A = this chain, B = another copy of it.
Amino acid sequence: MSAINSLANIRIVLIQTSHPGNIGSAARAMKTMGLSELYLVNPKSFPDEQANTMSSSATDILENVVVVESLQGALIDCRLVVGTSARHERSLAWDILEPRECAEQLVKQAQTAKVAVVFGRESSGLTNDELALCHHLVHIPTNPDYSSLNLASAVQILSYECRLALLTRLDGAANKVSGEDITEEVVTADAMESYYKHLELAMIESKFLDPENPKHLMTRLRRLYGRVNLTPSELNILRGMLSSFLKIKK
């Protein structure tokens, strides 16, 4: 039963969408797969007649859209945040997932918490600051000679994979009722942000990080801790340790 509801915990976040028609098509794509929660970060035009037209009859999703001004605002209560990327972010050695394994993780975490899949602008995708807020990236494999995947099509594919992952999970659960793997509690994105601030401060104070020349240090640490899925008690240890290090001075 909770597995069914897990799709309701998967939030689709669209950043600065230029074409309102894409918002409508994305809503339709979501609904065909059983997703329902849509957040828009600074859309160019919303509400918009074009969005309604393209949504077919997925108007309930459009009526419940939450419009926010920053990506952070869309992620506050999310435990897992996945950014979609058209490129392989090789230079930063991001942890890049295939849609299938990404969907498995989303559906798993969504059984007990909100999770988000973030889609960037039609033309230019996600900025580095936005990427930094993501725990993982997902890349939909496309034709290297023509990777111009429409925004709503990308939403369609990832929503489809989430539905498949759910069905697979339900199948598995039905086949072996007993051994449901207990999802361990994981800290929220918000708590992680506070930790990163604490960490950055500590590194600046100890002169390990030069704010004038940060050298991707925070990005790399975000990536490292982003893939650990820290439990609240582990985060407490890390923060306590940081505080004690900073007190050495006194």
Contacts and interface: CB of A to CB of B under 8 A. Distances in A.
A31 B244 contact: no
Contacts of A152: 153
Contacts of A47: none
B247 A206 contact: yes
A201 interface: no
A84 B29 CA distance: 17
Contact of A29 (B150, B163, B205): B150
Contact of A157 (B157, B233, B249): B157
Contacts of A249: 248-249
Contacts of A93: 184, 231
Contacts of A221: 237
Given A231-B93, A248-B248, A240 B148 contact: no
Interface string A146-161: 1111101100110010
A207 interface: yes
Nearest to A166: B141
A56 interface: yes
B32 A153 contact: yes
Interface stretch (A72-80, A108-116, A222-230): A222-230
Nearest to A238: B224
Interface in A63-104: 93, 100
Given A142-B32, A160-B140, A245 B148 contact: no
A11 interface: no
A228 B227 contact: yes
B241 A56 contact: no
Given A157-B157, A184-B93, A245-B245, A163 B141 contact: yes
Given A32-B148, A58-B146, 5 more contacts: A34-B143, A143-B163, A208-B244, A224-B230, A249-B249
6 contacts: A25-B150, A34-B143, A57-B148, A153-B156, A156-B157, A217-B237
